[in-house]
Amino acid sequence: MCEKLELPLLEQSNEADLTASGGHENQIELIQRKIYSPYKTSIISWDAKTYEKKVHANILPVSISCSSERTMTCLFSDTQLFIYGGFKENSDGIKEAMVVDLVSMEVKLKKSGRKRGGAGLALVGWQIYIFGGYKNEYELLKECDKYDILTNKWIRIASLPFYSGSVAAEVYGNDILVAGTHLPGLYYYSVGKNTFSKIKDLPILQDKNIFVHEGKAWIYCNDSWFYESKRYDLTKWRIIGYYYGFNMLLSQHVRIENELFFLDNSMGIYVFDLHTGILDKFKKSFK
């Protein structure tokens, strides 16, 4: 369902601290500054500060060996990583979900969802919201779900206004911003009302990434414009840059204080300063 919505003008940041306590502080800091990506039966981590790459081999079950490009991940506590979906070598979608302890690298299989890859994931409380994606390499999805971490249950929620793969989702206050390759704009998903509202026109057939920090939102359309919202007001936007030939990997980013570290398609780390709006040049390649 898509409805016109009066967007709230946030008076202050409502980003809740959703991390669970426990573990050694230094160890937790090391985990939270890394980008994690499953690939086949391994988990690969990139350290945003040291630019070191580490492969944790033979961690994931062989039966759900996957391609990292479409597999979804969500860090939901200090040391717990949710991994879901992706594609098998025959292009069929994966429906299995699991949780990885990033200290012990122990894997626990969870209740399976629908076959899906390339969806947008966002964490609100102890529920992970999943938007759109691909059923397999060729079929788009508009169906959305949420996974309850505490009860291990899947719940159907409102569908996207259009079918879309390569979806980006980011928490804004207590709700979620959603954009996708095949969506004609930026959408505001109200968690309480279970509705979508379009808040900004964006080009279709371009991968998009969303970032949120201290009441501001940024949208990057690959090979195109970088937009920035007014603080606590999603009705006002400005263009802060145009980056031709630059393509971010969807959802592969981590924030450390006021800097956003992310991977591009050349497997290089770039840094975006959230205060100045400056995108630093190429930092390090992992190829």
Per DSSP, 27 falls in state: H
Q: How far apart are CA 144 and CA 129, in angstroms?
A: 8
Answer yes or no: is pLDDT of 249 > 80: no
Predicted pLDDT of residue 254 = 82
Q: What tokens appear for 33 in the block?
A: 């500054």
At 41-70, the pLDDT tens digits run 899 888 888 888 899 999 888 766 666 567
Predicted pLDDT of residue 44 = 87
Q: Where does the pLDDT of residue 153 fall: very low under 50, low under 70, confident under 90, or very high at 90 and above?
A: very high
> What value does the mean pLDDT of the chain take?
83
Per DSSP, 62 falls in state: G
> What percentage of the chain reaches a pLDDT higher than 70?
81
Q: How far apart are CA 287 and CA 266, in angstroms?
A: 7
Q: Which of 179, 189, 243 minimizes the C-alpha distance to 211? A: 179
Which residues partner with 238 through β-bridges?
Answer: 228
The more confident residue out of 159 and 221 is 159
The more confident residue out of 68 and 273 is 273
Mean pLDDT along residues 6-35: 56
Which residues partner with 43 through β-bridges?
Answer: 38, 56
Answer yes or no: is pLDDT of 228 > 50: yes
Per DSSP, 63 falls in state: G
Q: How far apart are CA 162 and CA 182, in angstroms?
A: 8
Q: Where does the pLDDT of residue 150 fall: very low under 50, low under 70, confident under 90, or very high at 90 and above?
A: very high
Q: Which of 186, 182, 185, 112 minimizes the C-alpha distance to 140? A: 182
Q: How far apart are CA 203 and CA 69, in angstroms?
A: 22
Answer yes or no: is pLDDT of 10 > 60: no
Q: How far apart are CA 30 and CA 264, in angstroms?
A: 22
Answer yes or no: is pLDDT of 234 > 80: yes
Answer yes or no: is pLDDT of 114 > 60: yes
Mean pLDDT along residues 105-133: 95
Mean pLDDT along residues 5-30: 50
CB atoms within 10 A of CB 162: 17
The more confident residue out of 47 and 175 is 175
Q: What is the CATH number of domain 25-285?
A: 2.120.10.80
Residues contacting residue 276 through CB under 8 Å, at least 6 positions apart? none
Apex CA 217: angle with CA 214 and CA 223, to 5°? 140
Q: Hey, is 32 helix, strand or coil?
A: helix
Mean pLDDT along residues 197-202: 96
> Which residue ranges make up each domain of the chain?
25-285
Answer yes or no: is pLDDT of 168 > 50: yes
The HSE-up count of residue 251 (CA atoms within 13 Å, CB side) is 30
Predicted pLDDT of residue 286 = 55
Q: Hey, is 163 helix, strand or coil?
A: coil
For the chain, the straight-line distance linking the first and the last C-alpha, in angstroms and rounded, comes to 43
Q: What is the pTM of this model?
A: 0.86
Answer yes or no: is pLDDT of 18 > 80: no
> What percentage of the chain reaches a pLDDT higher than 90?
48
Q: What single letter denotes the amino acid at residue 287?
A: K
At 121-142, the pLDDT tens digits run 999 999 999 999 999 888 999 9
Q: Hey, is 254 helix, strand or coil?
A: strand
